[in-house]
Chain A
Amino acid sequence: MISIRETASISFRALMANKMRSALTMLGIIIGVTAVIMMFAIGSGANRQISERFSSMGSNMLIVRPGADQGPGGVRSGAVNTLTVEDAAAISSECPAVAYAAPTYGGGAQVVYGNQNWSTSITGTTPDYLFVQEWTVASGTIFTGQDVRSATKVCVIGQTIADNLFGNEDPLGKTIRVRNVPMIVVGVLGEIGANAMGRDQDDVILVPVTTAQRRLFSTSRTGSVSTIMVKARSAELLDAAQKQVESLLRMRHRIRPGNEDDFSVRNMAQMVENAKAATRTMTLLLTAVAGVSLLVGGIGIMNIMLVSVTERIREIGIRMALGAKKVDIRLQFLVEALILSLVGGTTGILLGTGGAMAVSGAFGWAVEISPFSIVLAFGFSGLVGIFFGYYPAWKASLLNPIDALRYE
């Protein structure tokens, strides 16, 4: 058997003799590997971005909503006014695994200051809301428990509101009109950024929940709230907190065993998992499509290698007459296929990496190029080369030297 190095140089020369054909054959692998690398990079980037955004929201959070949960896509049934401010207070004080609980009640509203006006969302809540969301107050203060009890007309505004209504002016102590109700700005929130869905969280006004209920958005059943945000003491206690909240609310709402809850609790960690699972599935799907193109590239290699073997039957005969063994011939063609696939694979890795970076630059998508995906792509293109190169190489080695020498 002749050495691999010499075999490689024979194979390389054979490929160089047909540069255009070799390049086109490689193109299939290049496109496949580029696609795989880019899909991996974009997929894992998206995954990481989702977990980062969710963890900035606090992954040890529960969201309690009124009405029974009908599962994903289902319609929330029955009375929707089942949760109250008192429920939130009870959760906060009676569930040991819960650190904070804050009710929210609000809606969209037009806010006016001077000749500026701005459409935003109003969240009526309690001071604990800041702790639940892990938000901070940049200037001024949050409204107090006393403000909540007496439904004072005060508010805390987000950065976006401060920028759009006040510009360079200091908003503290100024009066804005929310749905024509004058409210005094007592604080400005620190900058928060976008949430997992990409919504600008700085575009918000916090008011005492009672103010929202009684003065801004009056409701048929006074006292009811639209959600209760609950923060567990730690991520580990999230499941315990969920159970405690559920049993406390069932007790408070006098729900008999066997009857359905009139509320639903959503686990933030689960939502993160769901979102991640969704992107994982998407990535897998796209990678599978990319993998198919890699497979097609492999078939292209096999096709060209078969043509090449047929074209070079005479050469094979000569080499056999001069003493080449079956294994020498087989190796020569196998190495040719391998060079095609590995050079194609390497080019694809470079292009895919470059492409992923370009996408990240152009669209601001998070991409993550893992060494794993590079090793995988390289290994896989090698396997494609061996798998699709073996049959033509094997066919070549089976030629009978007498027939091969006479072949025209």
Chain B
Amino acid sequence: MAARQVVKIENVSKIYSLGDVQVEALKNVSFSVEEGEFLSVMGASGSGKSTLMNIIGCLDTPTSGDYFIEGRNVSGLSGDELADIRKHKIGFVFQGFNLLPRMSALENVKLPMLYNGVKPHDREGKAMEALEMVGLADRAHHQPQQLSGGQQQRVAIARALVNDASMILADEPTGNLDSRTSLDIMELFAELNRKLGRTVIQVTHEPEMASFSRRILTFRDGAILKDERESQA
């Protein structure tokens, strides 16, 4: 095996109890993602893709089955242990950007380093580097509300890059953006994946956005319907 397995999902099920009704959001799902992949997870709402993203993002744990990140089984960890995994291994990009208001772009990008033990005087440089990667170095001292949606999402991507995570996990990253900006953002992801070898996993329901990735995992009713890989040219 040439590349490392970043994500390995084995027989994962997730069952929610809503009162008396039991909803099986994920049914015995297995797949893996290797380092350097750009994967899109598609599916209609209710297909289980959000549940899957929460589990991959270590925000939730599977009801049964195992989840390995870089070979480490994280399926049975406590809330605080998951927080530890998140701050080192996962960079989140959300649909709604989720930047903290009243903080400059630079401070928002520095935020993950507050929690993952980077020394205070190293943070500024790393955050600026990340902002340069997304092309927003000149907006470092702007606050989120002074930036356009596309710029805010770039700041969020810089924040996901800054802790050198194993994967960038993007949950409908273009859902709040117009089509032109959406394409820019997807190009940025593709570039980060191609040039820097970053592993990117995104959830989307737009085939146009999914087409930027090299592998598409389609879900229906909590199970994998299709696993398509771009033919290696």
A370-408 vs B, CB cutoff 8 Å, 1 = contact: the mask equals 000000000000000000000000000000011001000
Asked whether, in the complex, the Cβ of A322 is within 8 Å of the Cβ of B112, the reply is: yes
Task: Say whether B59 contacts A322, CB under 8 Å.
Answer: no
The verdict on A250 contacting chain B, using a C-beta distance below 8 Å, is: no
Chain B 76-103 interface residues, beta-carbon cutoff 8 Å to A: 79-80, 83-84, 86-88, 92, 94, 98-100, 102
A322 in contact with B102 given A328-B115, A401-B59 (CB within 8 Å)? no
Within 8 Å of chain A (Cβ to Cβ): is B60?
Answer: yes
**B59 adjacent to A323 (CB under 8 Å):** no
| Distance in angstroms between the alpha carbons of A318 and B159 in the assembled complex | 11
Question: Does B120 sit within 8 A of A, measured CB to CB?
Answer: yes
Give CA–CA (A401, B163) in the complex, Å: 19
Q: Which residue of B lies closest to A6 (CB)?
A: B114
Given contact pairs A2-B114, A314-B98, A328-B115, A322 touches B120 in the complex (Cβ within 8 A):
no
Q: B92 — which chain A residues lie within 8 A by C-beta?
A: 321-322
Are A315 and B59 closer than 8 Å at their CB atoms? no
Residue pair B100, A323 in contact (C-beta under 8 Å): no
B114 engages A315 (CB within 8 Å) = no
Q: Produce 1/0 per residue, B98-136, CB < 8 A to A.
A: 111010000000011011100010000000000000000
The docked-state distance in angstroms from the alpha carbon of A321 to that of B94 is 10
The docked-state distance in angstroms from the alpha carbon of A245 to that of B148 is 97
User: Contact at B87–A322, with CB atoms within 8 Å?
Assistant: yes
Q: Is B32 an interface residue (CB 8 A)?
A: no
Q: Does A75 contact B (CB under 8 A)?
A: no
Q: In the complex, are the beta carbons of B57 and A321 less than 8 A apart?
A: yes
- Judge if B54 is at the interface, Cβ distance under 8 Å: yes
Which residue of the partner chain B has the closest CB to A401?
Answer: B59
Q: Count of A-B contacts with CB under 8 A?
A: 58
Nearest CB in chain A to that of B116: its residue: A323
How far is the CB of A65 from the nearest CB of chain B, in Å? 76
Chain A: minimal CB distance from B104 (Å): 12
Once the chains bind, are B54 and A402 in contact (CB under 8 Å)?
yes
Number of interface residues of B (CB under 8 A): 25
Distance in angstroms between the alpha carbons of A328 and B83 in the assembled complex: 11
Q: State whether A402 touches B83 (Cβ < 8 A).
A: no
In the bound complex, residues from chain B placing their C-beta under 8 Å from that of A324 are 83, 87, 115
Which residue of the partner chain, among B54, B98, B102, B115, contacts A323 with CB atoms under 8 Å? B115
Task: Give Cα distance in the complex from A328 to B99, angstroms.
Answer: 18
Assembled-state Cα–Cα distance A321/B59 (Å): 7
- A17 touches B (CB below 8 Å): yes
In the assembled complex, the Cα of A328 lies from the Cα of B116 at a distance in Å of 12
Q: Is the CB of B57 within 8 A of A322?
A: no
**Alpha-carbon distance A323/B79, docked complex (angstroms):** 10
Whose C-beta in chain B lies nearest to the C-beta of A327? B80
Decide if A276 is an interface residue (CB 8 Å cutoff). Answer: no
Best-buried of B60, B79, B84, B99 by chain A (most CB within 10 Å) = B79
* Cβ distance A11 to chain B, nearest Cβ, rounded Å: 13
Interface residues of A in 286-341 (CB under 8 A from B): 314-315, 317-328
With a cutoff of 8 Å between Cβ atoms, the chain A residues found around residue B80 in the complex are 325-327
Q: Are B112 and A323 in contact (CB under 8 A)?
A: yes
Q: Is A323 a contact partner of B84 (Cβ separation < 8 A)? A: yes
Contacts of A318 in B (CB 8 A): 98-100, 111
Asked if B115 contacts A2 (CB within 8 A), the reply is yes
Smallest CB–CB gap between A268 and chain B, Å? 67
Query: Across the two chains, which residue of chain B brings its CB closest to A14?
Result: B102
CB neighbours of B98 from chain A (8 A): 314, 317-318, 321, 405
Please give, as numbers and ranges, the residues of chain A lying within 8 Å of B111 by CB-CB distance: 318-319, 322
Instruction: Establish whether residues B94 and A323, one from each chain, have CB atoms under 8 Å apart when the complex forms.
Output: no
A13 to B104 alpha-carbon distance, docked (Å): 13
Can you name the residue of chain B whose Cβ is closest to the Cβ of A314? Answer: B98
Query: What distance in Å separates the Cβ of A357 from its nearest Cβ neighbour in chain B?
Result: 40
CA distance A405 to B99 in the complex (A): 11
Which residue of A has the minimal Cβ distance to B99?
Answer: A318
> What's the Cα separation between A43 and B176 when bound, in Å?
65
Q: How far does the Cβ of B215 sit from chain A's closest Cβ, in whole Å? A: 24
- Residue of B whose beta carbon sits closest to that of A5: B120
Interface centre among A6, A17, A317, A321 (most CB of B within 10 A): A321
Using a CB-CB cutoff of 8 Å, which residues 47-92 of chain B contact chain A? Answer: 54, 57, 59-60, 79-80, 83-84, 86-88, 92
Least Cβ–Cβ distance between A325 and chain B, in angstroms: 5
What's the least CB distance linking B62 to chain A, in Å? 14
Cβ-closest chain B residue relative to A17:
B102
Chain A residues within 8 Å of B83, by CB:
320, 323-326
A402/B86 in contact, CB under 8 A: no
Instruction: Tell me which residues across on chain A come within 8 A of B159, comparing CB atoms.
Output: 322
Give A1-60 interface residues, CB cut-off 8 Å to B: 2, 6, 10, 13, 17
Residue of A nearest to B112 (CB): A322
Please indicate the chain B residues that have their CB under 8 angstroms from the CB of A402 in the complex: 54, 59-60
Question: What's the Cα separation between A396 and B57 when bound, in Å?
Answer: 21
C-alpha spacing A401/B61, complex, angstroms:
12
Q: Is the CB–CB distance between A6 and B120 below 8 Å?
A: yes
A6-B114, A321-B86, A321-B92 are known contacts. Are A326 and B79 too (CB-CB below 8 A)?
yes
- A135 and B35 alpha carbons, distance in the complex (Å): 101
B92 to chain A, nearest CB (A): 5
Q: Please name 17 further chain A to chain B contacts, defined as beta carbons within 8 Å, in addition to the given A320-B83, A321-B92, A326-B83, sorted by A numbering.
A: A10-B114, A314-B98, A317-B98, A321-B98, A322-B86, A322-B92, A322-B112, A322-B159, A323-B83, A323-B84, A323-B87, A323-B88, A323-B163, A327-B80, A328-B115, A402-B59, A402-B60
- Please list the residues of chain A having a beta carbon within 8 angstroms of any beta carbon in chain B: 2, 6, 10, 13, 17, 314-315, 317-328, 401-402, 405
What are 5 inter-chain pairs, A to B, with CB distance below 8 A?
A318-B100, A319-B111, A321-B92, A323-B86, A328-B115
Nearest first, the 8 A-B pairs at minimum CB distance are A323-B87, A323-B115, A322-B112, A325-B83, A325-B80, A318-B98, A323-B86, A402-B59
